[in-house]
Amino acid sequence: MGAPGPASHGWSAPAGTGVSFGWGPAEARVLAPAAACVVVVDVLSFTTAVGVAVEAGTAVHPYRWRDASARAYARERDAVLAVGRRETTGAHPWSLSPAALRAAPAPARLVLPSPNGSTISVAAEAGRATVVAASLRNRTAVAHWLAARGYGTAERPLAVVASGEHWPDGSLRPALEDLLGAGAVLAALRAAGRRTLTPEATAAATLWDATEDPAAALRGCDSGRELYAYGFPEDVEVAAETDSSAIVPVLVDGAFQEAP
């Protein structure tokens, strides 16, 4: 008999452990049913964009694909549908770009497609967990919010999920920016005390603590270099604004909104 895979051993936290860490939509679907809260981290750029939009008062609806079904979904909710970064116009300036969202007028509702962060958010919500969007910009605010509500304890388990990217064949590509973002939240939560982290979560937190210049890491990682090459360096710079936001976006009735 072969060794068990992640799905067969469940990726559940060991007894007495309240904080686990995983990668991508598949682990989100496995971890969410046992978690009281799931923190989604997609630094470049979904959760950074969510934070910027929610700061401006916009309710953000995650959606996996930007296609005809997304257009219908947006119409049903009387929401603006975000387009590709290169498809924005003066009349329609909303995209996945955090810099563009910061500069654009704030709509009441925005449908924000993303095959990574949005997909994980929807998968986590299906597991009935509280879903939070975290990035470097709000990492301490998120950790304090979680700690104040008892998340990350054995009674209220917490799963932090790094979104990652995809290879051309659709398989998961772990992404440094999301490992750093997850580690940033986990390190702040660990500092709050009385939380037992899995070894995977501890490793992510330790990486954050050991990173001397997170902004330089964002600029130099694969995803950061891609955005620079595509002509969107401002998105990397916005994502690197560590602890610049006190907003905690929580998924309520299908949309990320500011936590009370």
CATH of the domain at 214: 3.90.1560.10
Instruction: State pTM to two decimals.
Output: 0.93
In a domain, 8, yes or no: no
pLDDT given at position 7: 42
Query: What integer is the mean pLDDT of 20-44?
Result: 95
Check: CB of residue 257 under 8 Å from CB of residue 54. yes
Residue 211 is assigned to a structural domain of this protein: yes
Are 132 and 159 in contact by the 8 Å Cβ rule? The answer is no
Q: Region 28-41: what's the mean pLDDT? A: 94
Per the structure, the count of domains in the chain is 1
Assigned domain for 120 exists: yes
First to last CA, the chain: 50
Output phi, psi for 253, to 5 deg: 55, 40
| pLDDT band at residue 14 using 50, 70 and 90 as cut-offs | low
Nearest to 132 by CA among 42, 197, 71: 42
Nearest CA among 19, 25, 257 for reference residue 124: 25
Residue 64 structural domain: 15-251
**Which residues, other chains included, contact 48 with Cβ-Cβ below 8 Å and sequence gap of 6+?**
42, 98, 135, 136, 137, 235, 238, 239
Q: How many CB atoms are located within 10 Å of the residue 154 CB? A: 12
- Is 161 within a domain? yes
Q: Is residue 192 part of a domain?
A: yes
The whole-number average pLDDT for the span 179-207 is 95
**Side-chain half-sphere of 83: how many Cα atoms within 13 Å?**
9
Element (H, E) at 212: none
- Which residues, 6 or more positions from 27, have their beta carbon under 8 angstroms from its beta carbon? 6, 11, 161
Q: Is the pLDDT score of 79 beyond 90?
A: yes
Q: Is residue 5 part of a domain?
A: no
With 0-12 / 13-18 / 19 or more C-beta atoms within 10 angstroms meaning exposed / middle / buried, residue 190 is buried
Q: Which residue has the higher pLDDT, 181 or 122?
A: 181
